[in-house]
């Protein structure tokens, strides 16, 4: 473990312990509905200086595209941010994306989907479908990757599966499939039902499974939380077999670890090119702190994948 990683863990643990924590769906939903709908963090000035920034509205939701002013590779990435489906994109997401753009030269599109409980997965699906269509059209045959962190990881898998279905549908003969999928600390089962999760909780400095389960139920709306649109861990193996190469970055001190290992094993059995890189001392979504040596290593690994 790097010195910086060792220092960050206790700080995160203290932050997690502060404040009252709703324990039931009704309590959390009431808390969320009583808030002012949160705004996503704006693109930092330094990132605006390094990238051309295009902001548009698609289906009532903002979509932000960053293209490096120098060294653009022609690779397109659609990144779905995490936040347990109830929290907006934060500055740490921009930190990760800025580091990834610098390392890869990729053009990154960030759809700011509606958050629960005001919105559900069924609201996100048509919005993301239109974003997907536009990105593939703009790419004009160039490689398009889907990436996501935490909750966004589930959405990234979901969108790669939908892109595959677009290609196989007779009415969409001109559609294109994804070149690859990048998952960072993905939340693949909204219920976090794997019994191994409990053993990791004492070592996870950030996440509380019960609060995540509540958020997952709010996001699912009328769907079962095991529905593949919500929890791609339960997607049909035949559907998963159509996925492009998948790369997963996962920390060992993260309650998402058991499902990441299960998902990688399922993909491998389905014949998918998948590589799971586990950082034993990594906390949830640690690449969002690019100063960490482990984060630099992970981001370089992802950049190599985008260039392959």
- Give the pLDDT confidence score for residue 15 in this predicted structure: 45
- Give the pLDDT confidence score for residue 127 in this predicted structure: 99
Enter the tokens of residue 288: 């969002």
**How many distinct structural domains can be found in the chain?**
1
Whether the ω angle into residue 237 lies within 30 degrees of 0, i.e. cis, is no
| C-alpha closest to that of 111 among 59, 154, 36, 158 | 59
- Give the pLDDT confidence score for residue 244 in this predicted structure: 98
Which mean pLDDT values do the consecutive 10-residue runs of the chain (308 residues) have?
Answer: 62 45 73 92 98 98 99 98 98 99 99 98 98 96 98 99 80 71 99 98 95 96 98 97 98 99 99 99 98 98 96
Sequence-distant (≥ 6) Cβ neighbours of residue 129 within 8 angstroms? 162
Bridge partners (DSSP) listed for residue 65: 54, 109
Report yes or no on whether pTM surpasses 0.75.
yes
- Domain of 214 in residue numbering reads as 3-307
Q: Provide the CATH number for the domain around residue 13.
A: 3.40.50.1820
d(CA 242, CA 164): 7
- Give the pLDDT confidence score for residue 19 in this predicted structure: 40
User: DSSP secondary-structure letter at 231?
Assistant: -
- Give the pLDDT confidence score for residue 174 in this predicted structure: 45
């Amino acid at each position: 473990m790097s010195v910086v990683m060792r220092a960050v863990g206790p700080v995160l643990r203290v932050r997690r312990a502060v404040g009252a924590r709703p324990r039931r769906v009704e309590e959390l939903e009431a808390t969320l509905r009583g808030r002012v709908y949160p705004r996503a963090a704006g693109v930092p000035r330094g990132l605006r200086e390094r990238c051309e920034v295009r902001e548009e509205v698609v289906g009532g939701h903002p979509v932000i595209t960053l293209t490096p002013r120098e060294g653009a590779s022609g690779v397109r990435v659609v990144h779905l941010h995490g936040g347990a489906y109830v929290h907006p994109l934060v500055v740490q997401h921009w930190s990760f994306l800025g580091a990834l753009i610098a390392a890869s030269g990729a053009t990154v599109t960030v759809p700011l989907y509606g958050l629960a409980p005001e919105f559900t997965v069924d609201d996100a699906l048509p919005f993301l479908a239109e974003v997907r269509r536009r990105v593939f059209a703009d790419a004009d045959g160039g490689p398009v990757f889907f990436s996501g962190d935490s909750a966004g990881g589930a959405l990234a898998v979901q969108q790669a599966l939908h892109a595959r279905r677009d290609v196989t549908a007779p009415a969409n003969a001109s559609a294109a499939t994804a070149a690859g999928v990048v998952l960072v600390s993905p939340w693949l089962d909204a219920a976090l039902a794997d019994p191994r999760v409990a053993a990791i909780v004492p070592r996870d400095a950030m996440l509380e499974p019960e609060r995540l389960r509540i958020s997952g139920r709010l996001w699912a709306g009328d769907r079962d939380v095991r529905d593949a649109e919500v929890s791609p861990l339960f997607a049909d193996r035949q559907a998963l077999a159509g996925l492009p190469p998948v790369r997963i970055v996962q920390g060992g001190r993260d309650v998402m670890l058991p499902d990441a290992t299960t998902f990688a094993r399922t993909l491998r059995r389905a014949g998918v090119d998948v590589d799971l890189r586990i950082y034993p001392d990594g906390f949830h979504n640690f690449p969002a702190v690019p100063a960490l040596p482990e984060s630099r290593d992970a981001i370089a690994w992802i950049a190599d994948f985008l260039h392959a």
